[in-house]
Amino acid sequence: MKLLRYNLNNAWRFNSTLTGSRSVSKPDTSATTGTNGNGKGNDLVLNQIFDVYSKTNKHLMNNEPSSMIKERNIIDKLYQLLPNKITKLDDSLFLKLNKIKRLRDLPPPPPKIFNSDTINSYASELISMSYIHYPGSMKFVDESVIELMNIGDFHKSTYVDVLIHFGSPYNKDKIDEVRSFMKKSFVSEDIDVFNVLIHQIFRKDNNVIDRSEALDVVENELFNMKVMGLEPDLNTLLIFYSDCGWFNERILEKLIELKLPLIKINNKIVKNKYKAGESVNSIVEFLKLHQIDTGTPVINSIIECHLLSNNYQNAWDFMIEKLNDLDSEFNVNTRTIKHFVSYFIRNGELYNALAMCDYLSNLHGISDRQPIYVMMLEMLLNDIKFKNINNWCLITRYLYLKSEKSIPSNLKQKLITKGKLIDIDFQIDEVGLLSEEIESMNEITNSLVWLQEPIIKLNENTNKFVDCVNRYF
């Protein structure tokens, strides 16, 4: 036990020296189905689904339609395991799987005393944060968790947390190692364990293995559940709805049939239905019918769909309607602003994106604007054109400074590389910032302003606004 604490303390101190203080810049990151829910149908239906899906889900198209058939068969096997009624309505695991971890540079130091309680609490604390921009910290956390697990005092809930950790991104070797530890420690795998395993391999953003291979693994885990006599629960169905590539609507029908709550997947319902080609109005009516149309996430999703349909006015009117509806439980947040900003940038109106960012942020007291500026910088790499290409360098430095210089280092390097193609002397930091550049940045800040409400038609804005756009954009 003393040796373990010595190793963890020294590794933590060594990692701290590599990472530096908490204020430094980020280091480099380097099936055929019908409508009856039983899976029966015909080739025509399969081809129709395939045609619609292929237009909206190109990232899953590597081995279609064979994986489509596999997914249908997997859902059939899931339904064979389902009980007639699901009485336990605990969806906490599903929420944990979808929780966004806060970013952190340094992992917490080890506890002064190691016992069963501190080992479990420290392991859970280690993996409760994301160190995605800090490879040294990520390595320390992974190695520390395995070392802690060697002691053999993990609770089942801690094993579940560790499986979640090693599943994003999917790491088969580590997951197999965790399962081996559980077996040696006589900790049985329950439905929570299988739910995590299925989600981590089934999720749409799993780019580690081929989709068809992932479906084979899911099918095997369902077989293991059957052998162990485990029944799917609410979390299982919510996971399948979220992770299905083809037949999420079939899972939704089953959730409704079993009278299970849909509120925790309402924003996913919006996105899936929109991708399937449903109109925004039809989606809103579905949400109202099932009384799941409240809350900021789902309203943000509706706003996003309006904007993806290139309908700014509907998006704006819908947002205002929900802000005035006290029962909607909606508040403008950073994600709301990002949707509007993305819309304007996609339409070549960076000036409106900047004006909208300031307008909504100031009006609704949003102080966390850094993610919005990072998104703008990401889009500057590809989607934004300027009348004078040299202004790209000015606007890039402007946004970088507004982001408080806190951006992923790989993004920073890409921006520097592109900047030097335009101007060999380009620097993104404030070093060498000329007085005329500072003056231009102040002009942009003070000119792109909407006082009363957004004015998205350029020629209807003030002369000051229009002159700024003509000069810099």
Query: Which has the closest alpha carbon to 132: 154, 115, 161, 107?
Result: 107
What pLDDT, on a 0 to 100 scale, did the predictor assign at position 11?
A: 55
Q: Do 144 and 158 touch, CB atoms closer than 8 A?
A: no
pLDDT in tens, 455-471: 999 999 999 999 999 99
Euclidean distance between CA atoms 46 and 32, whole angstroms: 5
For the beta carbon of residue 245, count every other beta carbon within 10 angstroms.
Answer: 20
What letter would DSSP give residue 89? -
Three-class secondary structure of residue 233 per DSSP:
coil
Question: Which amino acid would we find at residue 447?
Answer: S
Q: Which two three-digit tokens encode residue 452? A: 């009363």
Euclidean distance between CA atoms 464 and 454, whole angstroms: 15
Q: Summarize the confidence of residues 424-447 as an average pLDDT.
A: 88
Q: Which two three-digit tokens encode residue 415? A: 């921006």
φ, ψ dihedrals at 427, nearest 5°: -130, 140
What pLDDT, on a 0 to 100 scale, did the predictor assign at position 103?
A: 81
Q: Which two three-digit tokens encode residue 211? A: 């989709």
User: Which range (354-368, 373-387, 438-452) has the least confidence?
Assistant: 373-387
Query: Which has the closest alpha carbon to 419: 400, 402, 405, 436?
Result: 400
Residue 82 pLDDT greater than 80, yes or no: yes
Euclidean distance between CA atoms 77 and 217, whole angstroms: 13
Query: Residue holding tokens 């080890």?
Result: 110
pLDDT in tens, 366-394: 998 999 999 999 999 886 788 888 899 99
Of residues 1 and 397, more confidently modeled:
397
pLDDT in tens, 141-187: 999 999 999 886 899 999 999 999 998 778 889 999 999 999 999 99
Plot region of 366 (φ>0 → left; ψ -120 to 50 → alpha; else → beta): beta
What pLDDT, on a 0 to 100 scale, did the predictor assign at position 101?
A: 86
- Which are the contacts of 471, defined by CB distance < 8 A and separation ≥ 6? 443
What pLDDT, on a 0 to 100 scale, did the predictor assign at position 105?
A: 86
Three-class secondary structure of residue 37 per DSSP:
coil
What pLDDT, on a 0 to 100 scale, did the predictor assign at position 12?
A: 57
Q: Summarize the confidence of residues 61-78 as an average pLDDT.
A: 80
What pLDDT, on a 0 to 100 scale, did the predictor assign at position 151?
A: 82
What pLDDT, on a 0 to 100 scale, did the predictor assign at position 64?
A: 53
**Percentage helix, strand, coil for the chain under 3-state DSSP, each rounded to 5:** 65, 0, 35
Provide DSSP, 424-463: TT--SSSTT--HHHHHHHHHHHHHS--SSS---SGGGS-H
pLDDT in tens, 206-230: 666 788 888 999 999 999 999 999 9
Q: Do 171 and 203 touch, CB atoms closer than 8 A?
A: no
Q: Summarize the confidence of residues 419-445 as an average pLDDT.
A: 88
Q: What pLDDT band is residue 1 in, cutting at 50, 70 and 90? A: low
What pLDDT, on a 0 to 100 scale, did the predictor assign at position 157?
A: 94
Q: Is 138 exposed, middle or buried (0-12, 13-18, 19+ CB in 10 A)?
A: middle
Q: Do 143 and 171 touch, CB atoms closer than 8 A?
A: no
Of residues 397 and 432, more confidently modeled:
397
Q: Which residues pair with 103 in a beta bridge?
A: 130
What pLDDT, on a 0 to 100 scale, did the predictor assign at position 41?
A: 47
Burial 177-201 (b: 16+ CB within 10 A, else e): ebbebbeeeebebebbbbbbbbbbb
Euclidean distance between CA atoms 302 and 280, whole angstroms: 7
What pLDDT, on a 0 to 100 scale, did the predictor assign at position 409?
A: 82
What pLDDT, on a 0 to 100 scale, did the predictor assign at position 257?
A: 95
Q: Which two three-digit tokens encode residue 368? A: 């966390």
Q: Summarize the confidence of residues 71-89 as an average pLDDT.
A: 93
Q: Summarize the confidence of residues 316-330 as an average pLDDT.
A: 94
CA dihedral (457, 460, 466, 470) in degrees, to 10, reads: 50
User: Which range (129-138, 176-185, 314-323, 331-340) has the least confidence?
Assistant: 129-138
Q: Summarize the confidence of residues 117-133 as an average pLDDT.
A: 90
What's the mean per-residue pLDDT of the chain? 86
Q: Is the peptide bond before 169 cis (omega within 30 degrees of 0)?
A: yes
Question: Which amino acid would we find at residue 325?
Answer: D
Burial 86-100 (b: 16+ CB within 10 A, else e): beeeebebbeebeee
Q: Which two three-digit tokens encode residue 205? A: 């953003």
For the beta carbon of residue 176, count every other beta carbon within 10 angstroms.
Answer: 11
- Which are the contacts of 289, defined by CB distance < 8 A and separation ≥ 6? none
Q: Do 260 and 86 touch, CB atoms closer than 8 A?
A: yes
Q: What pLDDT band is residue 126 in, cutting at 50, 70 and 90? A: very high
Reported as type and span, the H/E element at residue 465 is helix 463-472
What letter would DSSP give residue 167? B
% of residues, the chain, pLDDT over 70 = 85
pLDDT in tens, 240-278: 999 987 899 999 999 999 999 999 999 999 999 999 999
